[in-house]
Amino acid sequence: MGDTSQLVSFLDAAVSHAIVLTDEDWQITHVNQAALALFSQVSADITGKPFVELINPADPVAVLGTDMLLSPTATEFSTNVSLQRGNEEIFVATITTKRLDTAEWGAHYAL
């Protein structure tokens, strides 16, 4: 399972949790079906956007920047974040950020 499309297909089939993959600049590269449903979005509308656009603008992560989701030396970090659906509904979720091996998965972070 070397490329990202295989990973996303696996995640869609194997988990019901929302999964968002981003590059090193926190631009969304892939999302699974659970994430699309959670954020009331379609893949074409969400892919390529900054991850911060899914965060409530008043949340500290949106104010201080997404780099606070994972320090340069950490491989995993969990925190509560106020997120925003496509219809502007705000909800709080615990997200876990994991650093991925970009050579293997073609993505930098999984949330």
Task: Quote the tokens at residue 55.
Answer: 């965060």
The model's pTM: 0.79
In this predicted model, what pLDDT tens digit does every residue of 9-39 receive, in sequence order? 766 666 778 888 888 888 988 888 888 888 8
Sheet holding 28-31, edge to edge: 28-31, 20-22, 109-110, 90-99, 76-84
In this predicted model, what pLDDT tens digit does every residue of 55-69 receive, in sequence order? 999 999 888 888 778
Helix (H, G, I), strand (E, B) or coil at 82: strand
Helix (H, G, I), strand (E, B) or coil at 54: helix
Q: Report which of 71, 75, 73, 111 is spatially closest to residue 94, judged by C-alpha positions.
A: 111
